[in-house]
Amino acid sequence: MPDSPAPAPPSTAPESPATPPAPRSSRFGRSGWLLLVLLFLIAAICLRYALDGPRPWGTEVTRRIEAGQELRVKEWAIIGLWWGCAVSAGIGALLLLTARLWMPGGSNAPRRPAPPPAAVKAVFYPVMGLLILMAAVERVPRLRQSLWNDEEYSMRRYAHGSWEEVKPERWEFEPVSWQDTLFKNANGNNHLLHSALSRLSLEGWRFFTGAERSEFKESALRMPSFIAGLFTLLAVALIGVELGGTWVGLGAAALLALHPWHLRYAVEARGYSLMLLGICVAVMALMHAIRRDKVLSWSIFALAQAAFLLSFAGSLHVAVLLNAAAAWELLRRREARRLRTLIGFNLLSAIPLLVWMLASVPQILEFLKREEILATPIGVQWMIDVGCHLAAGVLPSNPDAARHVGTSWVDQAVGMPGWEILLKYLLPSLALTGLFLSLRRPLAGRLGILAITLAAATAITQNYANGESMLSWYLLYLLIPLALAVPLALATLAPGGARTAGALIVLMVASYAIVTRPVRKIYITHDRQPIRQAVASYRDPHPEAISASLGVSDRQILSYDPRAQILQQPSDLPPLIQQARQQRRPLFIALCGHETTRQRDPELFTAVTESGNFELKKTLPGLEAMFSYEIWQLKPLPVSPP
């Protein structure tokens, strides 16, 4: 037998002491202390404003109240900012004093170890890059399209300004103040974060191009939405990877990139694209926060939640259900103590909302009292409309086809083979299957699919129970669970498992791309409302012309033609005709929405189209008849015989 090895001599080195307990100052870690310092600074700034800033009971506000005058944006900003800062200072103080109760780590740490990050195959990165490039190529042409009704209104009221006639035939440009951009919300349609970003984008464009303050560029206005739309594809792909692997993530990004509804709103100069990005980032961050309990993840969740609420307040139900799902997850894991962390970071998220958004709340409530907002009651037809948009981004029907270049579900079902098989039967079946599968899936499924779907169901139920209505695009965030649920269902039901899941997802994406291609082409190549083209049709050849606007969104023409007169009643027309005759200048009427205008204002419509004084010079179809233009020109007087 071999000799046994000699025992090692005893070590003469000093014995290593046991690792000392971490000092109390390391309880929060570097990132935790950085967060607390930032919170202290924010709370101090809010407190300073509450002590020294204008107050709701100050002279400026009380003077108007005592005089029985309506409060202006200035007064609402004073009220909202003061209360927002005062409450935020209190929240900041509470969070600082109770930091040991709600900060991550310590007794709030997860009981189970965090799972390893989802494995990403090498194919993910090049394919994801191609998807983003493809999406950008399809969306860039839409940057240059004319603004349509909602975009022009938002730009004129919140991000740019308008021309005002100070004297006859003399106009001056009045820029929007930053106070209006940040706090004006008299009609409840200021998407605050987008208004601020689009204004900064416009000002950056002017700075680099040397453009005048009165000039604007559609692409600059839309750039924040465009960038957010592309980043949303990456965010939803990362959620998909956590949900079911590389191919589920790529499939989700591809479906979203190809979806006509996303193609449209990911470029529109409104807050919806930013909302989608904020929701996706919030889902990702919340998922990592629950699993790994990092200060950075919790902080990103708080900021992303505030961002999507500031982008579109109608996403409130998403915030509520995301937090409810997170709370349920913590309870399911028997980590009830971590609810304090969830509550703490929600309070942190509330600070920017209170400071920025509180001024809007009374304005919106006043608007709701005095206006009937919508005429789209929730019922069978409304559900069909939502379903058509969710499946393919189109209207169920698009009447008066001779006056527009748009499309609809009915049109595509007739002209595109496989439309109804794929979009009416297969896509909804896969989406519902993915929804049920999300119940048994990792956290990504419950947050990214189930919670957002339940948020939409809650919003619909609430509005229906209150006898109110809502527009279909208020549920645009349903695109996120749809894009995730379909590839999840395919990956789970694939007969060969992971070996065939990728092929099935690619086949589904390719089929969707082919079937919806005509719709995307229409959205890419045609303006929804060709306001700019309508103005150019008469203003370019006749810069001296007298012009007027009539019909749907009549005032939206003013950003492109500040000199246009708005026709509101038949008596407005004869003075313009007389002026054109006397000054020997051409007179053009831009009529938007032929049939809608005929029904809303029959006398004025008849005076332009049937009196014999005007002739139709040009038609400019939009994507819907109500947003299509007719350009009518005053006929010259007949020449009397000698």
Would you say the C-alpha torsion 625, 393, 133, 149 has a positive or negative sign?
A: positive
Would you say the C-alpha torsion 41, 44, 49, 52 has a positive or negative sign?
A: negative
* Residues 65 and 71: beta-carbon distance below 8 Å: yes
* Residues 458 and 320: beta-carbon distance below 8 Å: yes
Q: How far apart are CA 623 and CA 263, in angstroms?
A: 15
Tokens read off for 253 = 């990004």
Residues whose CB falls within 8 Å of the CB of residue 36, separated by 6 or more in sequence, listed in order: 28, 96, 99, 103
Give one DSSP letter per residue of 413-429, joined into a string. HHHSTTHHIIIIIIHHH
Mean pLDDT for back-to-back runs of 10 residues, the chain (642 residues): 42 39 60 96 97 92 88 94 97 96 88 79 95 98 96 96 86 94 92 98 97 96 98 97 94 98 97 98 96 95 98 96 96 93 98 96 80 70 96 96 96 93 97 93 90 97 87 96 97 86 96 97 97 98 96 94 94 95 96 96 95 95 97 84 62
Torsion of CA 99, 102, 103, 105, to 10 degrees: 130
Integer Rg of the chain from CA = 29
Q: Which helix (H) or strand (E) holds 77?
A: helix 73-97
* Residues 330 and 321: beta-carbon distance below 8 Å: no
Q: How far apart are CA 299 and CA 318, in angstroms?
A: 18
Q: Return the percent helix, strand and coil in the chain, to nearest 5.
A: 65, 5, 25
* Residues 306 and 470: beta-carbon distance below 8 Å: no
pLDDT of residue 596: 95
pLDDT of residue 440: 82
* Residues 290 and 329: beta-carbon distance below 8 Å: yes
Place of tokens 């991550």: 104
pTM confidence score: 0.93
pLDDT of residue 375: 59
What are the two backbone dihedrals, phi and then psi, of residue 160, each rounded to the nearest 5 degrees? -135, -75
Q: How far apart are CA 262 and CA 271, in angstroms?
A: 13
Which amino acid does the sequence have at 180? Answer: D
Measured N-to-C along each axis, helices 427-438 and 479-493 cross at an angle, to the nearest 10 degrees, of 90
- Compute the C-alpha angle 365/360/179, nearest 5°: 140
pLDDT of residue 366: 81
